Amino acid sequence: MIRVENLTKAFGPKLAVNNVSFTVERGEVLGFLGPNGAGKSTTMRMVTGFIPPTSGKITVGGHDMLENPLPAKRLLGYLPENAPGYADMTVHGFLSFAAELRGLRGAARKRAIDRVVEHCLLENVLYQTIDTLSKGYKHRTCLAQSLIHDPDILIMDEPTDGLDPNQKHDVRNLIKRMGENKAIIFSTHILEEVEAVCSRVIIIDRGRIVANGTPKELKARSPEGRLEDVFRAITLPDTVKAH
């Protein structure tokens, strides 16, 4: 459902993403790992059509994101990093607005709102304004908007950021369930999340993919079978490795 070919993004002389290629099919949950500044968020913004690449090709559901973006974006749900909301709107008002933007009206809009409120456990704050919510509830509200149109493809940047342990558990289970019939990419710094949810993992470092495989395959590269050891071994700066 997603095909990324030779994707590159330069900001002036800096190559933030350097010749990255991968695919994600329906039924896959791809964990996107990397240290801060590795190029994760930049890659996800290009895949969603939020920013253009310097070069390369992105195909979403058979549609070229650069040449034919609207049908590609209709298939996507996107939860960006530090997801924004309209502070003076209630949760219900914001989700209703998001549903209308996705072309949902009348009974279909009500069903969509009811579905995401249940999935994201927002019943208790439905008529609060967003500026009064905790960080966790704000993040869950923004997650709900990414699901409002029941997209075939989900791209989520740090979907459990700001959540307490119980909320993290609920969101991980939700991602795992949705991953049975959707194509999902999500970035995270939490390695246990990858092992719990992902069917495949990509590790990116300094703009390049340095590992791509199942969690089991990557853990097999460590004598102790620990994903953390593999991650550190291939992403530590060369100056640190030398010591």
pLDDT value at position 239?
39
Mean pLDDT of 195-206: 92
DSSP for 36-72, please give it: TTSSHHHHHHHHTTSS--SEEEEEETTEETTTSHHHH
Q: Tens digit of pLDDT for each residue in 69-106? A: 999 999 999 998 777 788 899 999 999 999 999 999 99
Please give the average per-residue pLDDT across 115-144, as a whole number: 92
The reported pLDDT for the residue numbered 237 is: 63
What's the mean per-residue pLDDT of the chain? 91
Across 225-242, average pLDDT: 75
Strand partners, 156: 79, 186
Asked which of 16-30, 142-156, 219-233 is least confident by mean pLDDT, the reply is: 219-233
- % of the chain with per-residue pLDDT over 90: 69
**Composition of the chain by helix, strand, coil, percent to 5:** 40, 25, 35
- The confidence score (pLDDT) of residue 135 equals 84
DSSP 243: -
C-alpha distances in Å from residue 110, one per residue of 101, 106, 123, 133, 151: 14, 7, 14, 22, 17
The predicted structure's pLDDT at residue 193: 84
The token pair that represents 188 in the structure block: 């995270």
Say which residues have a Cβ less than 8 Å from residue 94's Cβ, sequence separation at least 6.
Answer: 85, 86, 130, 141, 145
Question: Per residue in 10-64, pLDDT tens?
Answer: 999 999 999 999 999 999 999 999 988 899 999 999 999 999 999 999 999 999 9
Q: Domains along the chain?
A: 2-75+152-241 (3.40.50.300), 84-150 (no CATH)
pLDDT at 140 exceeding the cut of 60? yes
Rounded to whole angstroms, the Cα distance separating 21 from 7 reads 6
Query: Are 7 and 164 within 8 A, CB to CB?
Result: no
pLDDT at 243: 43
Q: Residue 166 pLDDT more than 50? A: yes
**What's the rounded mean pLDDT across residues 195-211?**
92
218, 211 contact by CB (below 8 A): yes
Q: What percent of the chain has a predicted confidence (pLDDT) above 70?
A: 97
Higher pLDDT, 221 or 162: 221
* 108-to-91, 118, 151 alpha-carbon distances in Å: 18, 16, 14
Report DSSP letters for 109-152, one per residue.
Answer: HHHHHHHHHHHTT-GGGTTSBGGGS-HHHHHHHHHHHHHTT--S
Mean pLDDT lowest among 3-12, 35-44, 58-67, 161-170 = 161-170
Q: How confident is the model at residue 242 (pLDDT cuts 50, 70, 90)?
A: very low
- CA angle 32–38–41, rounded 5-degree value: 60
Per-residue burial over 184-193, b = 16 or more CB atoms within 10 Å of its CB, e = otherwise: bbbbbebbeb
**Single pTM value for the model:** 0.88
Please work out, in degrees rounded to the nearest 5, the angle formed at the alpha carbon of residue 31 by the alpha carbons of 236 and 5. Answer: 90
- Eight-class DSSP state of 178: H
200 in Cβ contact with 29 (< 8 Å)? yes
